[in-house]
Amino acid sequence: MNIIRYPEKSSWTKLLQRPLFDLSSLYEKVRAILDDVKQNGDEALIKYEELFDHIKLNDLAVQPEELEKAGKELKPELKTAIQSALEHIKKFHEAQKFAPIRVETAPGVICEQRSVPISKVGLYIPGGSAPLFSTVLMLAAPAHIAGCESIILCTPPNKEGKINDAILFAAKLTGVNKIYKIGGSKAIAAMAYGTETIPKVDKIFGPGNQFVMAAKQLVALENVAIDMPAGPSEVAVIADDSCQPEFVAADLLSQAEHGPDSQVLLITPHAEIIQPVQIEIDRQLATLPRKDIAEKSLANSQIILVKNMAEAIEITNEYAPEHLIIATRNPREIAHQIQHAGSVFLGHYSTESAGDYASGTNHTLPTKGYAKAYSGLCLDSFMRKITYQELSADGLRHLGPIIEEMAQAEQLTAHKQAVSIRLATLSTENQ
């Protein structure tokens, strides 16, 4: 990790840049795939699966017997862990249910707001070097609680054309309606446009590589919604001299191992903790199976020594991390000053891994600084809010002159007339 000591504020923008990659040809390549799937459906999906992943698929859909087999072959300890994590996730998301609003804004004018579920949702689950069955829980559980009519899932198969057992088990456990063996940008295309086998959805959720993210952004320009713009995973740690270096190092490495384009930051006003953390990073890194990936991530990462805790908070808000760990004596005092973060972990024992798997909060979060404008996934992500208004005759009498005046000022005569006609009728009736 690069060590930056007391950076001037004028240098923060450059210092806090995420890793940059040449994406000049990415959108062109993805657009070609999207168009092909849009035109040729299943034929294009099977073609690309063989071309890119060297897998010959006869059937895109996971069959019931595959689900049953996955449940039987998964070790009991993992099944129990998944079930326990799901209960915590459900408990937190159940608490997010929206209470309808009914307000009389003026005499005779009733306004209401109610939540309704998004009918058809598509979930994308990466299945490469790290098959993210935990993401199945994070996406499917709130979708099911919300009451989504159709929940489908796409995930890439392995070289034998099979889906990871834990992904299948989690999908069945959370009430996913149908699972399909397809990955990458072509999976996003299938859910966005629909094919002979895979139905079109109203909104697409889930993380993925650069091709997946590009595909989501492109289809969002058409007739399907997406959860949020996102990029590689990241964590920032604010630490003081009460932190335990081995804890901090472990948290930094837990994000660094996600991918070579991930980024981690340590921000501290205490110079004396830097070397112990570095020593721990080196020691723990040496034993990681994903050492090579983590090393590439660390090369894009920073240890930032700041003047005081106030500056640490300011630079963190500027960075707007996906995950923020506050490893200090009084983490809540700092937490109340954090304005931009996806999810915040308070204290020395609140490892980011808890949020990834089992605490109950959702791990699908905004990255690349989008935490300044986007929230992490929640129950509302799977809901739509509809407003209602009802005006009595007295209500229209009250609002009518206001509406007429405003419509006239905007030169929208028909708007004014829609009110004036009704007011004239009411006036006649009262004679």
What are the catalytic residues? 322-323
Burial (CB count within 10 angstroms: exposed 0-12, middle 13-18, buried 19+), residue 307: exposed
Q: How far apart are CA 37 and CA 205, in angstroms?
A: 19
* Single-letter amino acid, residue 149: E
Q: How far apart are CA 393 and CA 86, in angstroms?
A: 51
Question: 236 in helix, strand or coil?
Answer: strand
* Single-letter amino acid, residue 203: K
**CA distances, 379 to each of 113, 170, 257 (Å):** 16, 18, 29
**Strand ranges inside 279-328, DSSP E:** 302-305, 323-327
- Encode 283-295: b = buried (16+ Cβ within 10 Å), e = exposed: ebbeeeebeebbe
Q: How far apart are CA 78 and CA 100, in angstroms?
A: 39
Backbone angles phi, psi at 243, to 5 degrees: -70, 160
- The answer to whether 273 and 237 are in contact (CB under 8 A) is no
Q: How far apart are CA 89 and CA 412, in angstroms?
A: 50
